[in-house]
Amino acid sequence: MRCVIRTVFAGALLGLASAAHADTGLVQKTASELALEIRTHKTTSVEVVKAFLDAIGNDERNAFITLDSEGALMAALAADQALNSGGAIGPLHGVPIVIKDNIAARGLPTTAGTSALSSWVPQIDASVVSRLRNAGAIVLGKTNMHELAFGITSNNATFGAVGNAYDPAMTAGGSSGGTGLAVGARYAPAGLGTDTGGSVRIPAALNGVAGFRPSVGRYPLSGIVPISTTRDTAGPIARSLTDLVLLDGVLAGAQVTSDPADLKLLRIGVPEGLADSVGPETARLFESALDKLTSRGAKLVSVDLSAIHEINDQVSFPIVLWEVRRDLARFLNAYETGLTIEAVTKGIESPDVKFVFEELVLGEKAIPDAVYQTVIRDLRPKLQAAYGELFAKNRLDALAFPTTPLEAQPIETSDLTVDLNGEKVETFATYIRHTDPGSNAGIPGLSLPIGLTSGGLPVGLELDGPAFSDRHLLSIGLAVEAAIPALPAPRR
């Protein structure tokens, strides 16, 4: 882990923080709870930041690429002074958050998890970070991730693998693994990731927290190292749906509160054939969650997603592999990184990502322009239409399914394959199976925790909604969260 050191006022700030005798109970509180306690003078931002820094300690699970301890303490002191002087405050005033390291934060390295960008220090925030800071949030640091966001384990060969919040020997998921870990392990109350095919929802599910992928276009993309402008979006990760509602409001410029939906009025689609394609513990917890929803009046509707999956198989990789060649090159030039996509590729250290860039992005197996144009003009609109018809025909408020077919697997053995129901299957394809189709269609998706396996690992439930139904989907999430017992915090 690399730490950014700020020497101005360092001694005074560290002395002040030590004198605060940080309350370890603070790290169990949500962002909404902490914002209220800071606003009502029940605690201070300095006390809150110090509590989380104490929880992070030496960060043995490798959540951070850059931890800005002293910068966060200085910002906390300024937040407390502003509150005491009667200045205007936002809904996240004085609350620390973490930011995935492919999202620019001024004055801090933004590596995207790769060595070629390790010296790039942007002088302006990404738009989403600017909105969070304007709401009063404090950036604790930049979190570890799968290299260039091209994977779902966060086993990063450059900065080290990210451990799971509930078991450091297990993967944290990806590509926003560091943010998922940090929120799950109580290193921060909330954070920001990015999601192209599941990269917010997968680590949220595997670390026992909630993650939200908005409809594409809901949040601005400027300042985010891209994969695909068609599919990319930032997304918040938190420990409560109330926090996701608040964060979505800040990021989208919408309302920051919402009421739970009435489960008795909801029709929720459940894909056919799930039992054969997920692990036994995932199936058990998913069925238990559905039972809790039906006991409170929700109507479950069996739906056939085979046509959607068939179209998605033709859409997914051509978009990503063609657009990253264009979009990453444009980004590197526009933000004056001094790098080309070829230079970035040369420095990739993770074998899976190196193969993708050398062979499938820049090599002879790159997607032809004609194939991409067919996908973007014909097949993706067909996928979006299929989703629209599915929701309308069945009068669905949401689709429900396990976020991932399996819980987290061992870091040492899961880079390429994992075991699913006695069969060895490809890790990447398995973990994005449920999250990828909605990503390609650009619809909103929400993952929330539903329980722990017999081995103590979290499992997530995903809810997908029609395009631009983001606030209604979050309201459904509030109702579902209330119906399912909260997970215990991970053991330290």
- Indicate which residues carry an active-site annotation: 100, 175, 199
Torsion of CA 435, 437, 443, 448, to 10 degrees: -20
Q: In sequence order, what E strands does 227-384 have? A: 233-238, 267-271, 299-303
The sign of the dihedral angle between the CA atoms of 40, 43, 44, 48 is negative
DSSP for 87-128 reads ----TTTT-EEEEETTB--TTS---TTSGGGTT---SS--HH
Contact 439, 196 (CB under 8 A): yes
- Angle at which helices 31-39 and 45-56 cross, to 10°: 140
Distances (CA, A) of 435 to 26, 55, 63, 97, 409: 33, 31, 23, 25, 18
Q: Please answer whether residues 218 and 190 qualify as being in contact, where contact means their C-beta atoms are separated by less than 8 angstroms.
A: no
Task: Compute how many other C-beta atoms are within 10 angstroms of the C-beta atom of residue 134.
Answer: 12
According to DSSP, residue 263 is labeled G
Residue 213 in tokens: 């992928």
Nearest C-alpha neighbor of 183 from the set 105, 240, 139, 237:
237
